[in-house]
Amino acid sequence: MKKVGLHSRVIGVLVLGGGLLIALPLALTSGASASAPGQYCVASMAGQSAVECFTTFGASVSFATGGTVNLTNAAVARYVTPSELQADLSPDSDVLAIDYSGTGYGGNSLVWTGAGCTSTVGGANMPAGWDDVTESVAAYSGCATTLFEQKNYGQPQYAIHVNASVSSLGSFNNEADSQLFCNYFGCE
């Protein structure tokens, strides 16, 4: 369960004659990007804290649930059933939705957490690297969610019912720039 920091360095090692090793910086990532392979991230609605990313999907879900949910067969993103999340007994945070960068609940993922949905709980502009990449979504914890094509909830929009999932957003694939969460269809 290696956590990927937002400013992780990738180091290469060059072996010279005589066994001399030299570490070389090869790349510096500058944000959680849905286009980078193996990025499974968590964003909290509480206080809009920084996005945390992990190298496995299961580690991101475990982090999102305070360690109460440990998925099996979750090295890469997959659909999570509501019954799998029922073990989430974290009093401060629920999984509101999971956005996926691929259709069929594949690709990279962004797990949204918050204190549940008793009304419109707000939302956010997509985190860095997540603009225009969402292709499938699953809503949980009594939440509906609405994706918006423009930042700050600008139209057009794509609404998803309470506790529903959509394996492909169709013509709305790769369009979402902001997202709201609420307890009714068509969050506004």
Domains contained in the chain, CATH given: 32-182 (2.60.20.10)
User: Could you report the per-residue pLDDT of 14-57, keeping only the tens digit for each?
Assistant: 333 343 333 332 222 334 556 666 799 999 887 656 799 999 99
Cβ contact 82:146 at 8 Å: no
Instruction: For residues 47 and 26, give the distance between their C-alpha atoms in angstroms, rounded to a whole number.
Output: 34
Q: Which strands make up the sheet holding 40-44, listed edge to edge?
A: 3-4, 52-54, 40-44, 106-114, 94-102, 136-139, 165-166
Instruction: For residues 158 and 32, give the distance between their C-alpha atoms in angstroms, rounded to a whole number.
Output: 24
- Which range of 27-36, 62-71, 131-140 scores highest in mean pLDDT? It is 131-140
User: Could you report the per-residue pLDDT of 96-131, keeping only the tens digit for each?
Assistant: 999 999 999 999 999 999 888 877 777 789 998 999
Residue 61: partners with Cβ closer than 8 Å, 6 or more residues away: 69, 71, 74, 80, 95, 111
Mean of the per-residue pLDDT values of the chain: 81
